[in-house]
Amino acid sequence: MARKIASFLACLLAFSLLLAAHKHDKDAVFGQINAIVHSLSTISGLAEEHPVPYGTISKRQLRHFLSKRIKKTLNADEIQADELALKLFGLVPADFDLRKSTVDLLTEQAAAFYDYDEKKLFLLQGAPLDEQMTTLAHELAHALADQHFDLGHYMDESPSNDDENLAHTAVVEGQASWLMIAYNLSAEGKPPEPTPEMLRSVEDSDDSSGTDYPVLKASPLYIQQSLLFPYSEGTRFFDAAYKHMGRTAFSAVFMDAPVCSGQVMHPERYFAHEKPAIPELPKLNVGTGEKEVTEGTLGEFDERMMLWQYVGRPEADQLAPHLRGGQFRVTSEPKGVQPVLEYISEWDSTKSAADYFAAYKKILRRKWRRCDPSIDTDTVFAGTGDRGYFVTHLKGNMLTSVEGLAEAAVWARLRAVLNVTETPKLT
């Protein structure tokens, strides 16, 4: 969905969520850079092509840097479109400011980061680092990978859709997080292979991160999990790849990258090269003069977040893995008319689609203050909500939903989905 901004957030965050930290003299820290990179190279088999440039940055400079980078990476229209899509799906509140939230989150959390545009490591002035320098090892793992796989291109240009972008972010952060743990083990004279307990510590850090990061804790669930997913799921994904392929995994996950969040969450799908479905949105012609505002994919992560937020995490964990693929489009009509959200999802069976249809009814009822269905059957859920008329339709293993329709468009849409010449009246 709003994946560019989410991946931008994740790529600059220091991985400071795992371990307790202690202050170090920066010169002492930077004196260890070459030794850390050498160790990472030994573990991964990726040769160090050149020394890693480094510098320090103040919190004020960091905020200025982040604001400029967002403007450079994402124009105002893109940010507004991403923000609108999140609001229409009910994943963030109506007053949510995506740009401000992005800067606030990064300023709160960043302790060190590798900038793959400038090819340079930055350490925040006054930021504490763990006595084993694991945070620095994470960022230097990025630097080492960038020397071989051009992370700027890998993250920003090569993905073909939003969900693939999230998968690439998970590769970048997961590989670096795994290497960070392996580096710490190696520094202690132990085999550099994380144990299951160490991998679970990544997930445990997700659950406790709100204590140390109030801005993150106060953020909407979708934003929180967008930031944490690349670390928690990405680390588990890379561990599975390493166990499956050995050291060749350090190159394979970049050269033959996962293409969706589902492959990251279920590595067996990645190994089997199972591709997500791309269901085609129906041509609705819901109004005159409508203009596309934004469009994109919805992967397993997105569906899981919607279900988690409005139905509950157990049902989300059970149902989301059955998704095969999803698409959405937001259109707007002339000024004064609300935007229309068009959405389609494909499921792996008619049963899972029916289960999701029942869950999506709950999502619609709970994301709006008012939801008044006039048709509520096993295949059609239609009526009026906060944003006007809506129609949700189940056919086989496909669910389509249109929200924010003007009244005239409702008749045409209902005739299409119900395949009838006369349309049931909406009250």
AA identity, residue 216:
L
Q: Two tokens at 118?
A: 């400038």
Cα 176 from Cα 167, distance rounded (Å): 14
96 burial (CB, 10 Å; 0-12 / 13-18 / 19+) is middle
Output the six-digit token pair for 168: 């690439």
- Residues forming a β-bridge with 325: 346
330: Cα within 13 Å, side-chain hemisphere: 21
pLDDT in tens, the chain (427 residues): 655 555 555 554 443 333 323 334 455 666 788 899 999 999 999 999 999 988 888 878 877 777 777 777 667 788 888 999 999 999 999 999 988 887 777 666 666 788 888 898 887 776 655 544 657 889 999 999 999 999 988 987 667 788 999 999 999 999 999 999 999 999 999 999 999 988 887 766 655 555 567 888 889 999 999 989 999 999 999 999 999 999 999 999 999 999 999 999 999 999 999 999 999 998 766 555 678 889 999 999 999 999 999 999 999 999 999 999 999 999 987 665 689 999 999 999 999 999 999 999 999 999 999 999 999 999 999 999 998 999 999 999 999 999 998 887 777 777 777 776 666 666 6
Residue 327 pairs in a beta bridge with 297, 344
Q: Which amino acid is at 245?
A: M
Distance CA 154, CA 189 (A): 33
pTM equals 0.88
d(CA 59, CA 127): 9
For residue 405, give the amino acid letter. L
Q: Rounded to 5 degrees, what angle do the CA atoms 108, 113, 117 make?
A: 120
Sheet with 398-405, strands from edge to edge, namely 291-298, 323-332, 340-347, 398-405, 388-395, 380-385, 371-376
Q: What angle do CA 113, 117, 123 make, to 5 degrees?
A: 20
Copy the structure tokens of residue 133: 């320098």
